[in-house]
Structure 1
């Protein structure tokens, strides 16, 4: 039983991501609108197939629910005619909470390393604090952004918590994949905030979407590796 995506699937996934970035950067609407939802839709199909093969688990269920909200967030944020940033942020906030729940449930058999946890907590606290300190002046200067400040603070906390929980899955199958995915997700969201609120990033569509798609891919594959590993252990016993 293997959770590794097939080569054709991976090529289709990468191709869809590249076409989305081309469509976004060159304002080709049919590419942008057609390919962006495919990123999460393809991963949801992959996760669903793994679940059908290995069986349901509580953490796989929460992962899939989170992916649904990620797809919703992608759709809301890709619409350029209306500013739906707040709704998109809310969708991804729910996704973060679902992923946090999935990571937490997947750790039930894992032992925490208090020392490592403390060091990692410090790292994420420093990241979150610095990130908010950099953003705060822009929200103070622009009254239109005031209403978004506390949602952004809450989102930053949940994003950091998701990253923290990902690092605590030591000795579980797919650990490195999930950690890499969580860190790339933080990088992608940081790039979004910098580009939107601080300073435009050259080639932002490529930076943001490449890291985002890679993050979702790595998290999905890593979690499905654990699912298939757990299923194999059940069969063995």
Structure 2
């Protein structure tokens, strides 16, 4: 059975958990998202590479974030702890993507500049929209918005510095992260809406999957030469 099928089963179980078909099913299946990705990543990536160690560390932090957010409704402080865990995870993803930028800084910067503009406009507009609903979390959420924006921008700057498959997978994975976190913020702070959990979890799982697979498929391009 291929990993994609295994992960699809985990994803479907998490979607079911959002509807509470089985009481507290999410306690069992949500941690499996990053556990399965981390195991698959270790088995298929060269862990002596700094890029891959950063990706693995981000998956581990995401695992802790997932576990903490499971109890955010019962313990308010757990939401903040989960936010910090994912904040660090995004910093680690950003550091990994920046490594690819440094490998060939003279390569075209088209996608990076595009994401710099788009994420600048989106992040400032979105934060301005939800700011009045954040209360004491204004500064932490502002920091989170800034960091995830940097991650997406750096994913854009990987263009022509890695093979096209890896670039596309991680690029769209980063974008799905923005969709997931933006939906979560709106649902939690502004106004809850139907099926929000499915949207949040669906885009989140897709984001982590695409970034993980994109990292495994990564081949660095430096001065017209491809190296691992």
TM-score by length of 1: 0.86
Taking the aligned partners of 2:152 and 2:189, their CA distance within structure 1 comes to 23
Is 1:163 paired with 2:152?
Answer: yes
Contact 2:112 2:154 in 1 (8 A): no
Runs of 5+ unmatched residues, structure 1:
1-6, 140-144
Is 1:153 paired with 2:148?
Answer: no
Would you say how many aligned residue pairs link Structure 1 and Structure 2? 220
* SS state at 2:93 partner: helix
Is 1:138 paired with 2:133?
Answer: yes
Contact 1:178 1:222 in 2 (8 A): yes
Taking the aligned partners of 2:55 and 2:111, their CA distance within structure 1 comes to 25
Taking the aligned partners of 2:37 and 2:11, their CA distance within structure 1 comes to 12
Partner of 1:123: 118
Partner of 2:50: 58
Partner of 1:97: 91
Partner of 1:188: 180
Partner of 2:63: 71
Q: For residue 163 of structure 1, report the CA deviation from its aligned partner.
A: 0.4
Q: For residue 94 of structure 1, report the CA deviation from its aligned partner.
A: 0.3
The structure-2 alpha-carbon separation of the partners of 1:206 and 1:115, relative to structure 1 and needing over 3 Å to count, comes to closer
Q: For residue 121 of structure 1, report the CA deviation from its aligned partner.
A: 1.1
Greater helix fraction, Structure 1 or Structure 2? 1
Taking the aligned partners of 1:30 and 1:159, their CA distance within structure 2 comes to 29
The structure-2 alpha-carbon separation of the partners of 1:234 and 1:129, relative to structure 1 and needing over 3 Å to count, comes to closer
Runs of 5+ unmatched residues, structure 2:
none
* SS state at 2:102 partner: coil
Q: Which has the higher contact order (CA 8 A, sep 6+)?
A: 1
Taking the aligned partners of 2:157 and 2:124, their CA distance within structure 1 comes to 21
The structure-2 alpha-carbon separation of the partners of 1:153 and 1:45, relative to structure 1 and needing over 3 Å to count, comes to same
Greater than 6 Å deviation, 4+ residue runs: none
Partner of 2:74: 81
Taking the aligned partners of 2:56 and 2:84, their CA distance within structure 1 comes to 17
The structure-2 alpha-carbon separation of the partners of 1:113 and 1:234, relative to structure 1 and needing over 3 Å to count, comes to closer
* SS state at 1:44 partner: helix
Taking the aligned partners of 1:19 and 1:228, their CA distance within structure 2 comes to 35
Contact 2:100 2:220 in 1 (8 A): no
